[in-house]
Amino acid sequence: MKKRILIPIIAIGIFFTTVSFKSDFFEIAKQIEIFTTLFKELNMNYVDEVTPATLMDKAIKGMLEDLDPYTVYWNEQQVEDAKINNSGIYTGIGASARSEKDKIIIVEPYKDYPADKAGLKAGDEIIQIGNVTIANLEDEAGNLLKGAPGSTVDVTFKRQGKTETVTITRGAVELKAVPFYKLINNDIGYIVLSQFNSKTTIETKAALVDLKSQGAKKLILDLRGNPGGLLNEAINVVNLFVDKGEVITTTKSVIEKYNQTYKTKSDPVDKEIPLVVLVNGRSASASEIVSGGLQDLDRAVIVGARSFGKGLVQRPKKLTYGTQLKVTISRYYTPSGRCIQALDYWHRDENGDAVRKDAKEYNAFKTKGGRTVYDGGGILPDVQLESAVYSPITTALLKDNAIFDYATKYYYSHQMADWKNFKFGEADFQDFIKFLKDNNFEYETETEKKFAEGLKISEDEDMSKDISASYNQLMAAIDTTKDKAIVDKKVEIESLLMDEILKRYFYREGLYNYQIEHNPEILEAVSVLNDAGRYRKILK
């Protein structure tokens, strides 16, 4: 009896000291006690053996499910993973990977790190680590790849139908926030910024200073695909290009202490250098703070496609036993007052899906110089390019890993010695379409979802027999349209295919070198910077 009462009493104390009278504590205590007794009785009486940790994990996920997707519970390992992401340094095999039910798929081996030295390639399917078969493992298999520097691990993997085993010697791995920078055309600096970790500002500043010493008089900052990270690092990156004391973002919340104004605190490195920032649909969070701040202050021309639209700020809160709650605490706003959050998780549709704000509902704001910009749907570039867009079909291809899988097929069926000679022609694109059909690639459009809902309603109203023929005709028409969509979106799909293929042969260094000469967004950025009149006209 004491154990059952003790937990709610402790919980009341925790809530009392941290929530500051925000809620009805008696109701909270009541619900916690109900849950505690249910949890105890379930574990003691259920017909089959249950794992308390698994039950609790599912209960927590269920509790958070109807909130935004960024409010999440982290177990001890996930807390450690977050620390690694923020520091950019860890010990392991040096590869990004994707975990599936019975295997780990290597997504990208980092050049000259342990996995690469051992010969692992993107697309390799790890099925056993040491003596542990992944299919028999309930915990996160990727943890088995981590270990002390210099220790070894045997990895068994499948490649193109063959099973192989290699021994990998673990080592320190440093993921750079700036994996690449280079001088283009003797006077344009190009910096790739891939994440916002604790070293982002230091690395970006070092690259900027080095490029200026080489003769850079203009600059391209590439934030495409950058998912974000640390807020303060985003502020500090903007500070490299704008005066001390400028407001870069404000955060607003129903909780007073989270209402903050973030200003630049240092003198800039260069507040005059002409600047273009590249973004796309996978540029999110801190990337949008940087691009939105520079746009609102009329300090840079934004080129590419509308960014992701994540205007929510999270903060980790420590829980017991090394776990954490990463909770959304506020919304952030750009200097002009825009909140660029694209999805409304608090007003969902009849299916429980977050509602995307209609473009007609966007509100207009003014930049520092009087230009009109809009809220509600990410950062809209000043110069928009089709090649940077992520349409629904492209997003589906990425989610299904179709582009990744085709790149694996391409790598093992084509020889390539030099990125300078790489071409992805019409025959290759048609081969990709055939690959999709051979592998039964399918995706469901919003239109199909709505029609399916209508058919289900018609069954309840005894109308399905009368409309089934028409419904089948509609589905056939939609399938034809979907096939056409792949061809219609060839530019954006082909761009992603080329990027993924080039990484297989020449790592990221080769990819970036190729993009400098061929990528439409980079070429457009160069064009804008080389036309001083156009650059000034966009910003004024």
Residues labelled catalytic: 285, 296, 310
Give the Cα-Cα-Cα angle 246, 370, 388 (nearest 5 degrees): 85
Considering only CA atoms, which of 15, 72, 59, 18 is closest in space to residue 315?
Answer: 72
Q: How far is 74 from 171, CA to CA, in rounded Å? A: 26
Q: Residue 157: in which H helix or E strand, if any?
A: strand 152-159
List the end-to-end C-alpha distance of the chain, in Å, as a whole number. 72
Angular region, 431: left φ>0, alpha ψ -120 to 50, beta rest: alpha
Angle between helices 490-518 and 520-530 (to 10 degrees): 50
Q: Is the dihedral of CA 483, 489, 495, 500 positive or negative?
A: negative
378 burial type by CB count under 10 A (0-12 exposed, 13-18 middle, 19+ buried): buried
Give dist(CA 31, CA 16) in Å, integer: 15
Please give the DSSP secondary-structure letter assigned to residue 243: -
Determine whether 451 is exposed, middle or buried from the number of CB atoms within 10 Å of its CB (0-12, 13-18, 19+): middle
Q: How far apart are CA 26 and CA 93, in angstroms?
A: 50
Q: Which residue has the tokens 């954006």?
A: 492
Burial of 3 (0-12, 13-18, 19+ CB in 10 A): exposed
User: If you search the block for the tokens 């900027």, which residue do you land on?
Assistant: 208
Alpha-carbon distance of 234 to 310, in angstroms, equals: 14
Tokens of 222: 């590439």
Q: Which of 91, 90, 115 is nearest to 105 (CA)?
A: 115
Tell me the one-letter amino acid at 59.
Answer: A
